[in-house]
Chains A and B, each alone.
Chain A
Amino acid sequence: MSAKAQGANEFRVGRVELPWSTAFSISKKNIMVRFGRAMITAAGIMLGIAFLVSVFTSKAILMGSGEPPSPEQETRQTWLIVMSLLVCSVGICNSMFMSVTERFREIGTMKCLGAVDAFVVKLFLLESGMLGLLGSLIGAIAGFLVVCVVHLLKRQLGQIASMDWAYFGMGLVEALVIGMLLSMAATIAPAVKAARLPPAAALRTDV
């Protein structure tokens, strides 16, 4: 603490760093502390993934019922999956875009403290990846439960038990990976844009 301010003679320019462990804990903190806001962001992911998983579950049930699906049913299922993916992407992009934009000033501050563009992108990608995985997990459970409830009401719970679990398991993993990747992909564009702004411009931004 007795150190004096730097003099010109000891002045040289080096590199700044951000270890992964620190980046990880900062991102985690961002989710935990702003949990309410994070859950609103995640809601977009949850809904999309819930839809996707419910479609996967229905297909798994169909495959487990013994009779192979007719070509029309196959087409319909594919359509549903494509549609649910679209819904997913739009919801996730929208949420992620907002969550980055509303933090422009924070990004500007970080850059003033010595963060390079890559730190900002790293932090936001980590955060969106974690949030994406969490949202997808909740969404997947919700989607599966909805299908269960529907079958319970129709008194066809047996069909759930006899569904094609292997297909369902694969669909579940796919859905989680898709949810995580989509939310990360949706974050890249706004995060890179924000990171590239000169700090002065980022600090001026008010959302």
Chain B
Amino acid sequence: MATSAAANHSQMLEDYVVRTRGLTKIYVMGGEELHALDNVALDIKRGEYISIMGPSGSGKSTLFNMIGGLDKPTSGTVYINETDMAQLDAAELAWIRCRTVGYIFQTFNLIPVMTAIENVTLPMVFAGRTPDEQLQRGKELLELVGLGDRLYHRPSELSGGQQQRVAIARAFANDPAIILADEPTANLDLRTGKEIIELLRTLNEERGVTVISATHDLHMIDISDRVVWVRDGKIDKIEDRQSVDVKVGHVDWEDQYRPTN
């Protein structure tokens, strides 16, 4: 269980891996201000599996980008492991992106000219690991996601689900504290999407990594520790697993609740 993984840590009472305070992002479009994020305060515990839900345009991708240090907030702060992201220079931000956060994208975003193993080892190159280490870890990670026999395939030679598995292996390359997944199942069929979600959940439980996932996928809710609903740039409500379980329950939703997006 993710909660017990969190509890194993020494600072168990206030062990938040991500905290945001007054997080605001304003885009100026055609002279008009658009509040993509409005004064968001969110605490995420170490080892949690969190889903960020919300309609498109609700600000969930913006929130995702802020937490991952992919974009700068207009005001407010993001703390990762109690480090204020706003205080970091470009190189330190890169270091955080390299070692502390693993990203998984809707469109997989593998480097097309590189093989699966090269994609997985790239973050290790940036982290300064030795070639032997890179190769060994890369193989282990690809085996972990079930692609031990696809090491030297290029993304174009892999199916969508396989590409996303490579992306997951890559996200885990430097043992990050946080995995940020931006609609990881949106480009996959239902069955593959479910497999990907289950893989993420397993890794979350086994490694105690915090998973933060923006999603439309109802199956995600089913396995999340908490669901954060975002609407109009604000946090609408935060539900924990028990209360969500009642709503989604164990109905075979595959046919009935097909995600609309």
Contact = CB atoms under 8 A, between A and B. Distances in A.
Contact of A198 (B72, B127, B176): B72
Contacts of B103: 112-113
Contacts of B208: 4-5
A9 B210 contact: no
Given A18-B125, A106-B112, A203-B109, A114 B210 contact: no
Contacts of A8: 11, 15, 17, 46, 81-82
B94 A16 contact: yes
A19 B128 CA distance: 9
B207 interface: yes
A110 to B, nearest CB: 7
Contact of A33 (B17, B83, B113, B209): B113
Contacts of B92: 13, 15
Contact of A15 (B11, B81, B91, B178): B91
A87 B154 CA distance: 37
Nearest to B178: A5
A14 B95 contact: yes
Binding site secondary structure of chain B: loop
A16 B127 contact: yes
B91 A116 contact: yes
Interface residues of A, number: 39
Nearest to A112: B103
B95 A13 contact: yes
Interface string A32-49: 011000000000000000
A106 B83 CA distance: 28
B77 to A, nearest CB: 16
Interface residues of B, number: 55
Contacts of B141: 1
B70 A116 contact: no
A119 B90 CA distance: 12
A6 interface: yes
Given A29-B114, A199-B71, A13 B96 contact: yes
Contacts of A1: 137, 140-141, 144
Given A4-B208, A16-B98, A116-B91, A9 B10 contact: yes
A198 B210 CA distance: 24
Contact of A114 (B97, B113, B177): B97
Interface of B: 9-11, 15, 17, 46-47, 65, 68, 70-72, 81-83, 88, 90-92, 94-100, 103, 105, 109-114, 122-123, 125-128, 137, 140-141, 144, 154, 170, 174-178, 207-210
24 contacts: A5-B47, A5-B209, A6-B81, A8-B17, A8-B46, A9-B11, A11-B100, A11-B177, A15-B91, A16-B91, A16-B95, A16-B127, A29-B114, A34-B113, A106-B111, A109-B105, A110-B122, A112-B70, A112-B109, A114-B94, A114-B97, A114-B99, A115-B94, A203-B105
Which 9 residue pairs spanning A and B have beta carbons closest together? A114-B98, A200-B71, A33-B113, A114-B126, A200-B70, A5-B209, A200-B65, A11-B81, A199-B70
